[in-house]
Structure 1
């Protein structure tokens, strides 16, 4: 199995150019590309940091390395950190780290709530949900959290209701829901149409484009920000490209590594606010952040990227 560690050759893809008007958002070399949160206009860098997968595993035994990852996120122009109480020790370790580093107020902290589980008809105990939310506030050490989402669409009436109340109290700035399950997309779409959401969180990758059909256009129509999870298809895309070189034409949109290739595809969709690939390695994080600089692929280049990946054997 070829992993990110095997494939990565560190580089910061950068350049000075104009993106296609259809896909906008070019930036000067070295400057982070940003997108506006539709409900407020606040701008966020298009590449952030997630804390599932490798970050979650490292949180159990290597907190020091994760502190360096978080410090690098901020020092290299990133901002968004996505976590959840269900990601092992990720939320607790990251909360301690940002306080010790003195960067808690520099991080756009996106966490989640769900005590209902993943069953479609499961219900949430409001007291348990409140306790989980209180723990998240304690871990971050802030009186206000930037974004809290209902994880996996768990008991929307109860848990989103709690988030609405917290937003009204100004304890939470933005609220939303998440789903990375295609069978749950109809429920996600219904929630997007009927609830006052600031954000959704969904899975999206060059070989996983189902959200392009309805969800991303609906987010644009409704003014809902989009966080993207699993932009590498978890490990699927790394296995698919194996040891192949990045095509020369990827330099036309300033991608010099496969990680940047995959991420630039995701964030070149205009409805996407930020992609949050998870990593516990500084080198991988810096490479990921490089995808948020320079040019982004236009519509023709996106089609070529899809054709390339679809022409490779499936993982």
Structure 2
């Protein structure tokens, strides 16, 4: 059996070839990354990407970012494309953009960043500040047009979403959307989904955090809105609940080889989900995550069994 270390070496060794324009994983390859279509644009994206909050952001603040270089290299070499970031994630946006240019992979990455120029404690964004934040993201990520910009945490939707709509109309942003990881804000999110022409939403969704299944994900299917999933591990909550328990043998029935894949495959089995973007600063964890995008996904009966298994565990301390 190939170890994770051996897998990482082979993937990184192939990274140079994978960055060439003609290099693609074959759709006929049973080991190829699963892709899904962005409903409104028709673009196909790999279903597992990379987030840049949490540990990624912590490492980006330091002087040694070599681990992040390996992570971004492995993302593209391993068949991923989507990188989710935000100006609010400290140095993540700037560092990732610089690394991608250094590696020559900037054009291959689907850059998903965010906009929130509302001052702390305020409720509206200064238009000039919002434009400057957007232009800074262009400079940091080195791509114009940007692939996706979303209004972060539904902040000042009239002003900031209106600005993104103008950027999209001008051809400088390809997709626009909104994000929320707050249940209290879900009614506002639903309102925006019903009334605005957006391409994506970003929401929290995990095997023990399924509230979006009630209204938000069905509405995304109805309104043809792509879905980026955040916090599929419940930050660290699910890891605390699982502890040292072994992966159940029946997880192999849907080609699941680790707990990370167990949690990600549950999320990906919902048809509304376009891509899940767990954050990590370790290439070996990224490779494990990418494995969730390969092989079979659980069917409805298997998903129910997964939920029952997790719900029976003690809550995180």
TM-score over 0.5 (shorter chain): yes
Matched with 1:33 is: 34
Distance in structure 1 (CA, Å) of the matches to 2:269 and 2:118: 34
Distance in structure 2 (CA, Å) of the matches to 1:190 and 1:90: 30
Q: What is the CA deviation profile of residues 251-308 of structure 1, one whole-angstrom value per residue up to 9, with x for unaligned ones? A: 0001110000000000110000000000000000000000000000000000000000
Matched with 1:74 is: 76
Which of the residues 75, 88, 113 maps onto 1:111? 113
Matched with 1:170 is: 171
Distance in structure 2 (CA, Å) of the matches to 1:284 and 1:191: 35
Distance in structure 1 (CA, Å) of the matches to 2:82 and 2:156: 26
Aligned pair count reads 293
**3-state DSSP class of the match of 1:208?**
coil
**3-state DSSP class of the match of 2:45?**
strand
Matched with 2:91 is: 89
Matched with 1:264 is: 265
Equivalences for residues 191-206 of structure 1 within 5 A? 191-206=192-207
TM-superposed CA distance for 1:29, in Å, is 2.6
**3-state DSSP class of the match of 2:187?**
helix
Matched with 2:18 is: none
Matched with 1:158 is: 159
TM-superposed CA distance for 1:10, in Å, is 4.1
For the 8 Å contact 1:10–1:284, the answer to whether it is kept is no
RMSD: 1.5
TM-superposed CA distance for 1:69, in Å, is 0.6
Q: What is the CA deviation profile of residues 125-149 of structure 1, one whole-angstrom value per residue up to 9, with x for unaligned ones? A: 1111101001000001122100000
Q: What is the CA deviation profile of residues 44-64 of structure 1, one whole-angstrom value per residue up to 9, with x for unaligned ones? A: 011000000010001011322
Matched with 1:240 is: 241
Distance in structure 2 (CA, Å) of the matches to 1:280 and 1:56: 8
Structure 1 residues without counterparts, runs of 5 or longer = 1-8, 13-25
Matched with 2:20 is: none
For the 8 Å contact 1:28–1:293, the answer to whether it is kept is no
Deviation above 6 Å: which 4+ runs of structure 1?
A: none
**3-state DSSP class of the match of 2:293?**
coil
Distance in structure 1 (CA, Å) of the matches to 2:53 and 2:142: 21
Distance in structure 2 (CA, Å) of the matches to 1:291 and 1:185: 27
Matched with 2:129 is: 128
TM-superposed CA distance for 1:68, in Å, is 1.2
Higher relative contact order (Cα pairs below 8 Å, separated by 6+ residues): 1
Query: Closer, same or farther in 2 for the Cα pair 1:118/1:271, shift >3 Å?
Result: farther
Distance in structure 1 (CA, Å) of the matches to 2:101 and 2:221: 35
Matched with 2:65 is: 63
Structure 2 residues without counterparts, runs of 5 or longer = 8-26
Matched with 1:228 is: 229
In the superposition, the TM-score normalised over structure 1's length comes to 0.91
Distance in structure 2 (CA, Å) of the matches to 1:118 and 1:47: 32
Q: What is the CA deviation profile of residues 69-109 of structure 1, one whole-angstrom value per residue up to 9, with x for unaligned ones? A: 10110011000000000001000000100011110000000
In the superposition, the TM-score normalised over structure 2's length comes to 0.90
